[in-house]
């Protein structure tokens, strides 16, 4: 039955996105620990999950088209959950599909928050690295103490003569 296939695919999408959220949270821990190997592992796992999600979405679209044909409705280019829900009669299946959609939206929102947080952490880390490189690069060219660049200080040789003359 195409409706049950739709519901099954929605549950698979929810499950796959939960795993994606876990990987995003693991990535944050790897960023905090500066673990490059762990980040690479997270990246590979994330790619695998994204491929899995793409496959599930494709299966969902096929099931949605089958359901629409069974209901004698012509599948359009954009088959969304809302379109399918409108065609469903009121009942348990419609309620389950709406619940799955709500869970999926919540998980996607959480993934977005974690990814934004990770992005900010990466940007701060890169800024820190740039700062360290700049300090290392300009190590001997800059004085350690602050002085007003507009002021005209006597040279070090003249300073020693001035101190000697006062002595």
Asked whether residue 82 carries a pLDDT value surpassing 90, the answer given is no
* Full residue range of the structural domain in which residue 7 is found: 2-140
Domain contains 154: no
pLDDT bucket at 150, cuts 50 / 70 / 90:
low
Residue 17 lies in a domain: yes
Q: Which residues of 37-70 are buried (b: 16+ CB within 10 A; e: fewer)?
A: eebeebeebbeebeebbeebeebbeebbbbbbee
Q: How many domains does the chain have?
A: 1
> Do the domain assignments include residue 50?
yes
Give the three-class secondary structure for 78.
coil
Domain containing 101 — which CATH number?
Answer: 1.20.58
Mean pLDDT of the region 11-38: 94
> Per the domain annotation, does 102 fall within a domain?
yes
Residues 6+ apart with CB under 8 A from 20: 46, 49, 50, 53, 111
pLDDT tens profile 113-122: 999 999 999 9
Do residues 135 and 46 lie in contact, with contact meaning Cβ atoms separated by under 8 Å? Answer: no
**Residue 139: pLDDT over 90:** no
Residue 38 in domain: yes
Domain membership of residue 122 (yes or no) is: yes
Residues near 154 by Cβ (< 8 Å), separated by ≥ 6? 162
Whole-model pTM: value is: 0.74
């Amino acid at each position: 039955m195409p409706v049950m296939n739709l519901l099954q695919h929605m549950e698979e999408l929810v499950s796959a996105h939960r795993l994606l959220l876990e990987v995003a949270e693991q990535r944050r821990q790897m960023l905090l620990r500066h673990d490059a190997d762990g980040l690479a592992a997270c990246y590979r796992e994330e790619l695998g999950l994204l491929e899995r999600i793409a496959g599930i979405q494709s299966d969902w679209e096929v099931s949605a088209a089958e359901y629409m044909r069974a209901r004698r409705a012509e599948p359009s280019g954009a088959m969304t959950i809302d379109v399918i829900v409108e065609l469903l009669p009121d009942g348990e299946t419609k309620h389950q599909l709406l619940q799955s959609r709500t869970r999926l939206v919540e998980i996607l929102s959480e993934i977005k928050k974690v990814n934004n947080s990770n992005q900010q952490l990466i940007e701060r880390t890169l800024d820190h690295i740039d700062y360290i490189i700049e300090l290392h690069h300009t190590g001997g060219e800059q004085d350690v103490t602050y002085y007003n660049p507009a002021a005209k200080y006597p040279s070090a040789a003249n300073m020693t003569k001035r101190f000697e003359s006062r002595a």
